[in-house]
Amino acid sequence: MDAETMKTLAAAIAIGLGAIGPAIGIGMIGAKAVEAIGRNPEAAGKIQGPMILTAAFAEAVAIYALVIALIVKFV
């Protein structure tokens, strides 16, 4: 296995595994938010704000993994 192959593999595994956690996390955030809206439809606007914020936090971790994959592949 030469360096180029390992680099490609490493980049693929980095982003592949790194996206599992945030995907599950954002799914759970969305599920709880939708359940809360279903319970109290009038509070939909107030629930939406923290939901977007928390989803951005969770997604940031996926972005960290993506940046590492990009660094491995292109630097």
Partner 1 sequence: MEISLAAEKIAHIGSLPITNSMFTSWIATILLVVFAICATRKMTLIPKGAQKVMEFIVESLLGLVNSVFNDMKQTKRYFPFLATIFLFIITNNWLGLFPGVGSIGFHEIDNGKELFVPLLRGGNADLNTTLGLAILTMLLVQIFGMIAIGFFKYVGRFVNFKSPIDFFVGILEIIGEFSRVISFSFRLFGNIFAGEVLLAVITWLLPYVGPVPFYFLEIFVGFIQALVFTMLAMVFIKMAITDHSEHEEAAAH
- Enumerate binding residues for partner 1 (CB under 8 A): 49, 52-53, 56, 59-60, 63-64, 66-67, 70-71, 74-75
Choose between 10 and 66: whose C-beta lies nearer to partner 1. 66
Token pair of 54 as six digits: 């928390």
Choose between 9 and 56: whose C-beta lies nearer to partner 1. 56
Choose between 37 and 55: whose C-beta lies nearer to partner 1. 55
Q: Can you tell me the distance from the alpha carbon of 16 to that of 62, in angstroms, rounded to the nearest whole number? A: 10
Q: Can you tell me the distance from the alpha carbon of 42 to that of 39, in angstroms, rounded to the nearest whole number? A: 9
Residue 68 CB-density burial (10 A; 0-12 exposed, 13-18 middle, 19+ buried): middle
What's the min distance (Å) between Cβ of 14 and partner 1? 13
What's the min distance (Å) between Cβ of 11 and partner 1? 12
